[in-house]
Structure 1
Amino acid sequence: MNSVIFSTSARLLCWAMLAISLAILWRGHNQPGGGFVGGLVAAMAIGVVALSNGVAHARHLLRVHPVALAGFGVACAVISGLAGIAAGDGFLTHQWLIFDNGFKLGTTLLFDIGVYCAVMGGMLCLVFRLYETSEEAA
């Protein structure tokens, strides 16, 4: 598609949607949302860029292959589960890291980041492949 208006608005919309997806990821611990919904919104943001400027531009914007992103996400999720085993509580048991200033960081955030990356990578693999297949058929 060669629409200047769509191309420009897609770039602006992409950054706004990525910011919203990170907000959804962050608030997911106490409210509905989290890694899955945030990953879907992030994939949709990159997908809009792929529709407006093509898959090559979207891949350049992403800067990492979607399969590598999905693999990193699965690795993060597994590592967050192994923290519970290391503490002697079992796989995927919630653990806390408490800093000296009272700041707490839980393994659920690492798990949500893993889900976010896995969902985003998997969806982008699907979207990019479908778009490339439709271009080949045309």
Structure 2
Amino acid sequence: MSTIIFRTIAPYIAALAVLFSIFVLLRGHNDPGGGFIGGLIAASALSIYGIAWGVAPVRRALLVHPIALAGFGVFLAAFSGFLSFFVGKGFLSGLWVTLHLFGVEIPLSSVMLFDTGVYFTVVGAITTIALTLEEPEQE
């Protein structure tokens, strides 16, 4: 499906979907959303862009191979679990730190780090599958 209308609107749809996926990721661990759903939304945005323009522009837009992105996500999720060992808690126990920047308190948690790792893992894995399916067959 490479109509002029779809090719024109696909970059805008993909950009909005990626922004929405980041919103869903940041929405939190206890509310509807998180890393998995946000990652699925971002991967679908990349798939829409790939259907409109092809595989090569999506690979150029990612800057890294999607499998490397998935591997980084697994590392980040595992790292967030091991952080709790340094304070004497069990694996994947939630830790919170509050940063004070310009008079604003910003709470950060290891749960958010875990969700970010899941986000990168899902984006990398699903994008790899989608790009593999979209590539033309080579004989």
Smaller-chain TM-score range? over 0.9
Q: Aligned letter for 2:57?
A: H
Separation of aligned partners in 1, 2:105 and 2:15: 32
Separation of aligned partners in 2, 1:37 and 1:77: 16
| Residues 60-97 of structure 1: per-residue CA shift (max 9 Å, x gap) | 11121101100110011011001111111011000011
Secondary structure of the 2:2 match is coil
Aligned length in residues: 136
| Residues 3-25 of structure 1: per-residue CA shift (max 9 Å, x gap) | 22111111000000000000000
Q: Aligned letter for 1:58?
A: V
What is residue 116 of structure 2 aligned with on the other side?
Answer: 113
**1:2–1:52 CA contact under 8 A, matched in 2:** yes
Separation of aligned partners in 2, 1:46 and 1:121: 10
115-124 or 25-34: bigger deviation: 25-34
Secondary structure of the 2:137 match is helix
What is residue 82 of structure 2 aligned with on the other side?
Answer: 82
Structure 2-normalised TM-score? 0.92
| Residues 101-125 of structure 1: per-residue CA shift (max 9 Å, x gap) | 5421100110000000000000011
State the 1:34 CA deviation: 0.2
More helix by share: 1
Separation of aligned partners in 1, 2:13 and 2:105: 37
What is residue 123 of structure 1 aligned with on the other side?
Answer: 126
Matched, 1:60 2:63: no
Percent of pairs identical after alignment? 42
State the 1:2 CA deviation: 3.4
More strand by share: 2
What is residue 7 of structure 1 aligned with on the other side?
Answer: 7
Structure 1-normalised TM-score? 0.92
